[in-house]
Structure 1
Amino acid sequence: MKKLFPLLLLLILSFNYTYSQRPGGDREKSTIVITGQVLDQETNEPLEYATLVLQSVENPEKITGGITDMDGNYSVETNPGKYNVSIEYISFKTYKKPNQLLSENTNLGVIKLSLDVAQLDAVEVVGEKTTVEVRLDKKIYNIGKDLTTSGANISDALNNIPSVTVDVDGAIALRGNDNVRILINGRPSALAGFGSTDALRQLPADAIEKVEVITSPSARYDAEGTAGILNIVLKKEKTLGFNGTINTTVGYPTASSITSNLNLRTNKFNIFNTIGYFYRGTPGNGYFDNNYFDTNPDNFNRIIEDRDIERRDIGYNVNLGMEYFITDKSSITGSVFGRFSDEQDITENNTTRFIETIINSRTLRREVEKQDDKSYQLSLNYINNINEDGQKLTTDFQYSFDKEIQPTTIAENSTFPNSDLIAKENIYETQLQKEFLIQADYVLPLGEAQFEAGYRGNFEENSNDFRLEQLNLQTGEFEANLGLTNVFTYNQNVNALYTQYGNKYGKFSYLLGLRLENTQLKGNVDASVDLTELQEILGTEIDLNFDKNYLGLFPTLNLIYELSDKENFSLGYNRRINRPRGYFINPFPSRSSRTNIFQGNPDLDPAFANAYDIGYLKRWDELTLTSSVYLQKETSSFERIQEDTGLTTIDGINIIRTLPINLSTNQRIGAEIGLLYSPEKWLRLNGSFNFFQFQTEGLFNGIDYGATNTSWFSRFSSKVTLPGKIDWQTNGFYRGPSQNSQTESKGIFSLDLAFSKDVFKDNGTISFNVSDLLNSRKRRSFTDTMDGLNDDSYFTSDSEFQWRQRQFTLAFIYRINEKKKNERRGNNYGGDDEEF
């Protein structure tokens, strides 16, 4: 009944208002306008779809009113008279002002509502579900009780968000495009890693409050990321008192963890703390079948590599912070984050070599890579809500530091026809990453409009110290390889200014912005290193020590037209940049394989993209439809190519390298649709489908790498409440086949199951889930380097890779002073709110 009340009230108000507009009705010719704004007393955030009720004192059956917009503002036309004024919002105390004489246009000012604690236990709260709010420049997915992420990590949780995919290597893509910017709490962060998303696999999914999918970012956000932005907002409890959760998991293959999210909040401060410990053993595997079409009959024409991977990750992370409320309008927040891990990956690579169809030799390569990783981050944030009109100033400072020490030993032995030691290497690698961020934002309301301006400075330095020692088989001594031993330092400095202006006219809203960014990219190789061989491989025209500077303007435009409260159209345009990361720039080749290497390209330039997005949303009683069509054209886009280096190993095997290059253009066009259906309280279904085509054009070393590819991905989820109040959730995902200029990737299907039951009077929940039930989450691809120039010295590669095998997990979560139904607030977001 509590849920139905706001809807019934709105229907009554709509009926009265409609009736009062009819010709010949009782409406007087002279009318007045009542305006004002409704805010949350705790957070000063606007409350959208709060209800203003005007009840006539003389005729109590006569009720008029309206609802607030996305900024909490309302504007209601009525007849002069005496009214009982009230403002209502579910889970909040009703504001009442009886016997008010309203004889002229009146602004009731800013009214702040506070939570009604007595209602909370009686409300079926949306916090138990996952909802999405549609905004001018983004969709906000409020993470609820997703059973399949219980005991999982943030990377797993992202894979359940529509439009987002996470592949078997952990690479994150938005609408099929992997150039997506990952932010934590609106800022680049050590929590998300620097140039890598591996860190997201070490953080628990239950630390997430919401995920913002920003496919058409406004000028407020970095221009980095041609696909868009994913902003992960972590939990920070707003309820007074001491509360929190303890989450423990055990699993097979080995996966155990314990995480606590604890908060202590008073009227003057809020202390929040997340501590987690994990121990995981993650087996994986890979398979490569390379065929070489060489005219020399003495060369190997086929090489098969069969890899088994055993991972052991032990670590913990801690995030401790405090928000101090200086006044009722201003606060300062400080937090310290640390992540510490001890990892070990053991890869055994069994290689079989053929001449024609006859096995020539077999070798076993054993690589033991250890990693001691320490990450720290210090953040300071100041917020000043200058006045009740919404004028606001925020400033941020953040320092991040990450140090990874990676000692690696590699031994390769012949197993057929002889048993001999072929090669032995010791690698000592240290990566240092530092980042400073300074940011200031100012918001100035101008009536119903809003002006915003700000500055952001982002300064990164990445240093890679690499030393390679190889065993001299004649002397039995290790010798330094001076051609590969190196220190490479990469700096990326970005200074940005932005301004934006938004307004609303009736059913039409817009947000117009402009961002100016200056980017400096600097690379430096230690001059003491012998670079002759490296320079020959890359080409003499490539400068290993570079200093590049780019100045760019990035306009943004976002529009929404509301056909009704439950239906709207949206239009977005933005210009984006894709800056090469250190991994793509570092010119020294990797050592994961003697025959298949990855080499960065210091000649890479940033890529630029123009993106357009048209969206449509429609909501019925039990069904919600979201859809969009998008177009993106990127210039100087990055593409990974594979080519024969012309070099061979000491036993005569051709060395193939993967190299990132700038291609001329990459055009992507696509469409996505999502359906959310909840016919019964015990059943929720949702599905989404994303179809896209991209076309690349470009030449490199006289070879045409242009390609056209069509692909798609789809996901389906159902949640059923079984007898005994057991929840059952099923998630299915399929990504269709795709291809670029050289490589064709096959489709991937995965299926996840989960069950949960609340215990201890709903203070605890026990759950069991199976990730990748069919053990089918594998990347399969085929590469063909045929260049069409009548040159038969090309090769093909057929490969399969599985990062993690099927996982079984048992999890238990216990809530401290935070009952299952004590989630904030049961917001009704009208036509802009969905469940999945």
Structure 2
Amino acid sequence: MKFKLLFLLVVSNFSMLMAQSSSNSGVISGKIIDKNTKQPLPYVNVSVLEDSKIITGGITQENGSFSIKGLALKKYTVEIQFIGYKKVTQEITLTENNKSIALTTIAIEEEAVQLAGVEIVKERSTIEQKIDRKVVNVGKDLIASGNTASEIMNNIPTVSVDPQTKELSLRGNSNVRVLIDGKPSNIDAAQLLQQIPSSSIKQIELITNPSAKYNPEGMSGIINIILHKNSQEGFNGSINSGVTFGITPKVNSALNLNYKVGKVNFYTNYGFNHGQNENNGYINSFRPLFENRQEFGGTNLNTSHLIKLGMDYFIDEKNTLSFYTNQNIVDGSGLSFNSADFQNALLRDSGQKTDSDTENYTQTYDLAYKHDFTKKGETLDFQANFSNTKSPEDTDFELTQNNPTSTRFTNNDIKRDTDYLQINLDYVNPLSETVKLEIGAETRLQKITNDFDETISEPSETYNRQGNSYFEFTRNIHSFYANLGKQWKKWSVQAGVRLEQYEIDGDFENVVTSSNPTENINDQSTIKDDIFSVYPSLFFNYKASDNDSFNFNYSRRVDRPSIGQISPIREWTTPLIESRGNPSLEPQFTNSFEVNYTRTSKIGSVTTGVFYRQINDEIGRIIYKNPDNNNQDIISYDNFDDNSALGTEVSANLKLAPWWSVNASTDVYFKTVRGTVQNANTQEQERAEADVVIFNARMNNNFVANKKLRFNLFAMYRGRDLGLQFEREPMYRMDIGSTYTILKGKGSITARINDVFETMNFGFDGNIPYRQVGAFYWESQTFYLGFNYMFGGGKNNALQRKQRDQNETQGSGGLL
């Protein structure tokens, strides 16, 4: 009932806003052509200024003409701007005797330099600090630092990727949402980042404290990855290809194509990633009477294809229709082993071999419509996004135990299927020059099914076991939001609220039949929840001068348990460790506060920020003994006590000399981790806490030797991290590389050595539930050789470029 009433209020407000109109009567019209070709230029920006302030404007039609109505009778400056052309201005005066002024045909001239207009990949990465996000423009230096999005994320300020689990974290927390071109994906973030070739990435947006206009999920905020696409006239594109040499070679390539003709713009992106990766590690456990050493190793061969096809249809200067589809295809196979050697001669040593085949096919379809009203800045956006993901897995295990020798064969056949539908409607209205209203509604419908079949046999003991676990989960979220922004002098403020109705329904069934009747199981359980939540947000910005600005913001956020965190179906297993979810897991809510200061100078900008999080029912990892197998630990999730975290970070984007530029960042996090752990001796759950200080630093240097040759030096340090059960040791690395420009500036060759001194590995030391130390290693030291080439030509079309850039970012800001 609350939502029906709220919906009626939103619709009523929306209708009143749509009815606004202007009573001014002055008109300015004209026509714009290319000075050299004499051809009319469509979509040119025409602005009307009063006392150097833009009060209204428009764009030219296909025939180059424009008409701006509803103007007061006074003096104005008409400003004409078009990417790739010189700016033109004219002074005009509207009076009672001359209410309509028709300017003569205006011929505008091209700028002398065209290359920058068609550049797709810059030499070096740059960082921009905006009011609500930090934008990393990905250059060739970052592309060369890794094959995939997962690998280059470790070079991004405040972002980290766990080298073993590939789990992504922002500001030291893994509760972060990942979007592609502002749109959600059904694929797990860790898996998704390994499928996207680094050369397909244009920008990475870090939105650490989103407003009410954004989806509130993810305590740490949002990471939005924007893929390449352009809107040049005619046919053009780029190709990026590289090979990474480690133990085995790995290929990373991307092709970007664009064709603009008339009112239609077609674009496509194809990314290909293929390679084999090797890893190994060990864990020494010192549990009394069960002391052992576990060794791990294996290879994984993955081939992924990421295809994006899209079209923009510019119906007229006020209406745009866009459509795109993503097709993501992944084939993977892996061979691995692990062994457990016990010091106690009465315990049986064991070894397990694993052979797995995995597939992942995700298809996404997105339709968007945008309408620009006559009033400048007033817009209406509609978007519908549907995706389906199928990810089957077939894994064989061979477990051998010694003294006496026996072999157990296990086959896991898993079928996963996910449907996701999201619909958004967003309206923006500048109520005045200083006040802006934003309202919107969103519906998200998700259905997931997971069918797990397991067969176990021990031929020597005529033992067999057949199990089936089936899990069906639906999650529906309906929300409304409103933001009101106000500017006055050096201050600006935005207040917002988001209302959400959250409904989940899950059914779990587990049936086991065995030659040992005591193992027979027939369990059924249901998960249901229905929550109404309010998420406020508040932003203040103070621009003390052209060089100094301050920002304060607050938002309430939520971390809802993922399917993997609540599914009781076993995720993976070894003889001594098993991973599974916790069906009773509750959502985690966070109140997030943030203060930032940005100082701009002739050599660049420096941003300093402090943040504080107050966390309720924090979700974290736990380890406890398997009640059905005393020799095995279970890794799962649980809600810990309320918690808090404090952090500070400094990032700089500086040009220290004409030949030397630097992107650098440092961050420090302070937090107290609280929760419950299991005592290894008594098997009882006990309260525990740990005070943690985490320090990270990165520096990316770019050196210009001459017009064609550049060098890059990157270094990072990730400090120790302390959890309730173990301490992660510090990690650090250094990379060096160079880029040489060829083919008259349209091509380049890049070479890079990653982890020069081979110092990057994951090591830990823990005491709960008993003493354990270990380390994991992977192919961190590699050599990359890549080639980039841009082809085609044409000029940017200002309207399309602007609208397409909005489509890329608006999904995270305006539609989610």
1:734 aligns with 2:717: yes
**Does 1:464 pair with 2:450?**
yes
Structure 1 Cα separation of the partners of residues 645 and 520 of structure 2:
33
The yes-or-no answer on 1:557 pairing with 2:538 is: yes
2:662 is aligned to 685
Shift of 1:506: 0.7
Matches of 1:215 and 1:92, distance apart in 2: 37
Secondary structure in structure 1 of the residue aligned to 2:150: helix
Equivalent-residue separation in structure 2 for 1:42 and 1:741 (angstroms)? 64
134-143 vs 233-242, which moves further: 134-143
Amino acid at match of 2:496: G
Structure 2 CA distance, aligned partners of 1:529 and 1:748? 44
Contact 2:143–2:198 (CA<8 Å) still a contact in 1? no
For structure 2, list consecutive stretches of 5 or more residues without a partner in the other structure.
1-27, 29-39, 59-72, 678-683, 803-816
State the match for 2:210 in structure 1: 217
Normalising by the residue count of structure 2, what TM-score does the alignment of the two structures yield? 0.82
SS in structure 2 opposite 1:458? Answer: strand
Aligned to 2:174: 178
Q: Using the alignment, how far apart are the partners of 1:132 and 1:145 within structure 2?
A: 14
Distance in 2 of aligned mates of 1:336 and 1:742: 44
What displacement does 1:92 show? 4.7
Q: Can you list the C-alpha shifts for 1:420-449, whole angstroms capped at 9, x where unaligned?
A: 343211111111111111111111111121
Amino acid at match of 2:412: I
Query: In the alignment, is residue 655 of structure 1 matched against residue 632 of structure 2?
Result: yes
Q: Which residue of 1 aligns with 2:225?
A: 232
Deviates more, 1:761-770 or 1:718-727: 718-727
Query: Which amino acid is 1:627 matched to?
Result: T
CA contact (8 A) 1:51 1:89 kept: no
Partner of residue 622 from structure 2, selected from 630, 641, 645: 641
Q: Which position in structure 1 is the counterpart of 2:355?
A: 368
What amino acid is aligned across from residue 88 of structure 2 in structure 1?
Answer: Y
Correspondence for 1:703 among 646, 671, 686: 686
Looking at structure 2, the residues matched to 89 and 239 of structure 1 have their Cα atoms a distance apart, in angstroms, of 13
The amino acid that maps onto 1:457 is T
Does 2:95 correspond to 1:95? no
Q: Does 1:153 align with 2:148?
A: yes
Structure 1 match to 2:501: 518
Deviations 1:225-254 (A, max 9, x none): 011111222222122111111122222232
* Equivalent residue, structure 1, for 2:327: 338
Aligned-partner Cα distance in 1 for 2:795–2:144: 17
Q: Helix, strand or coil for the counterpart of 1:741?
A: coil
How has the CA–CA distance of structure 1 residues 819 and 764 changed in structure 2, closer, same or farther, with 3 Å as cutoff? farther
Q: Is the 8 A contact 1:342 1:373 kept in 2?
A: yes
Which amino acid is 1:182 matched to? V
Match of 1:624 in 2: 605
- Map of 1:11 onto structure 2: none
Contact residue 249 and residue 276 of structure 2 kept, 8 A: yes
Provide TM-score, normalisation by structure 1. Answer: 0.80
Q: Does residue 381 of structure 1 match 2:368?
A: yes
Matched, 1:263 2:262: no
Deviations 1:306-331 (A, max 9, x none): 11120101232211111111111211
Amino acid at match of 1:311: N
Cα distance between partner residues in 1 of 2:167 and 2:296: 20
User: What does the per-residue CA deviation read over 1:482-529, in whole Å, with 9 as the maximum and x for residues that have no partner?
Assistant: 3xx301122222111101011210110111110011111222112656
Whole-angstrom CA distance in 2 between matches of 1:678 and 1:566: 16
Q: Are positions 1:249 and 2:242 aligned together?
A: yes
- 1:199 aligned counterpart, secondary structure: helix
Distance change in 2, residues 1:229/1:135 (3 Å): same
Contact 2:232 2:794 (C-alpha < 8 Å) held by counterparts: no
Cα distance 1:799–1:522, how it changes in 2: closer, same or farther (>3 A)? Answer: farther
Report the counterpart of residue 315 of structure 1 in structure 2.
304
CA distance in 2, matches of 1:589, 1:338: 29
Is the deviation greater in 376-385 or in 129-138?
Answer: 129-138
CA contact (8 A) 1:256 1:280 kept: yes
1:712: which partner in 2? 695
Matched residue SS, 1:426 = strand
Structure 1 residue matching 2:211: 3-state secondary structure: coil
Match of 1:490 in 2: 473
**Shift of residue 340, structure 1, vs aligned partner:** 1.3
Q: Is the 8 A contact 2:84 2:114 kept in 1?
A: no
Find the aligned partners of 2:609 and 2:211 in 1 and give their Cα distance: 18
Q: Deviations over 1:355-411 (max 9, x none)?
A: 2xx796543311011102211111111111122411111111111111111110111
C-alpha contact (below 8 Å) 2:512/2:519 kept by paired residues: no
Displacement of 1:733 after TM fit? 1.4
- The 1:578–1:475 alpha-carbon spacing in structure 2 relative to 1, beyond 3 Å, is same
Contact 2:643 2:673 in 1 (8 A): yes
Q: Could you tell me whether the CA contact under 8 Å between 2:750 and 2:787 is conserved in 1?
A: yes
For each residue in 1:504-555, what CA deviation from the matched residue of structure 2 results, as whole angstroms up to 9, or x when unmatched? 1011011111001111122211265689x9x9999x9x99311111110000
Aligned position for 2:13: none
Structure 1 letter corresponding to 2:219:
T
For residues 806 and 796 of structure 1, the distance between their equivalents in structure 2, rounded to whole angstroms, comes to 31
Q: Which amino acid aligns with 1:810?
A: L
SS, match of residue 377 in structure 2: coil
Which residue of the other structure, out of 783, 788, 803, is the alignment partner of 1:808? 783
SS in 2 for 1:671: strand
Task: For residues 186-241 of structure 1, give each alpha carbon's deviation from its aligned partner in whole angstroms, at most 9, with x where no partner exists.
Answer: 22124xx2x43212211122322322211120111101001111122222212211
Q: Does 1:426 align with 2:397?
A: no
Instruction: Identify which of 438, 455, 458 aligns with 1:452.
Output: 438
Change (3 A) 1:821 1:163: farther
Take 1:520 and 1:441, find their aligned partners in 2: how far apart are those partners? 23
- CA-CA distance at 1:122 after TM superposition: 7.3
2:111 maps to a residue whose letter is: A
CA distance in 1, matches of 2:489, 2:95: 24
**1:833 matched to which residue of 2?**
none
- 1:352 and 2:341 matched: yes
- Residues 84 and 801 of structure 1, relative CA distance in 2, 3 Å threshold: same
Q: Which amino acid aligns with 1:319?
A: K
Q: CA 1:619/1:562 → structure 2, altered by over 3 Å: closer, same or farther?
A: same
> Identical aligned pairs, as a percentage?
24
Provide the aligned length of Structure 1 versus Structure 2. Answer: 728
Aligned residue for 1:468, secondary structure, equals strand
Q: CA deviation at 1:273?
A: 0.5
Whichever residue aligns with residue 335 of structure 1, its letter is: Y
Please state whether the residue corresponding to 1:211 is helix, strand or coil. strand
Q: Distance in 1 between matches of 2:794 and 2:316?
A: 30
Q: Kindly report the root-mean-square deviation, in angstroms, between the aligned alpha carbons of the 2 structures.
A: 3.7
Aligned to 2:578: 597
Of 282, 287, 292, the residue aligned with 1:303 is 292
Q: Does structure 1 conserve the Cα–Cα contact (< 8 Å) formed by 2:370 and 2:380? A: yes
Letter in 2 for 1:181: R
Is 2:699–2:716's contact at 8 Å kept on the other side of the alignment? yes
Distance of aligned partners of 1:693 and 1:67 in 2 relative to their CA distance in 1, 3 Å threshold = farther
Report if aligned partners of 2:596, 2:608 keep a CA contact under 8 Å in 1: yes
Secondary structure of the 1:605 match is coil
Q: How much does 1:590 deviate? A: 3.4
Write the deviation string for residues 532-584 of structure 1: whole angstroms up to 9, x where unpaired: x9x9999x9x9931111111000001111001111100001000000000111
Deviation at 1:451, TM superposition (A): 0.5
- Relative to structure 1, the CA distance from residue 472 to residue 359 in structure 2 (aligned partners, 3 Å threshold; closer, same or farther) is closer
Partners of 1:43 and 1:443 in 2: CA distance? 25
Shift of 1:620: 1.3
Please give the secondary structure, in 2, of the residue aligned with 1:526. Answer: strand
Partner of 2:68: none
Match of 1:608?
Answer: 589
In 2, Cα distance between equivalents of 1:817 and 1:184: 26
Q: 1:114 to 1:620 in 2, by over 3 A?
A: farther
Q: 1:339 to 1:84 in 2, by over 3 A?
A: closer
Shift in alpha-carbon separation, 1:188–1:480, aligned structure 2, 3 A = same
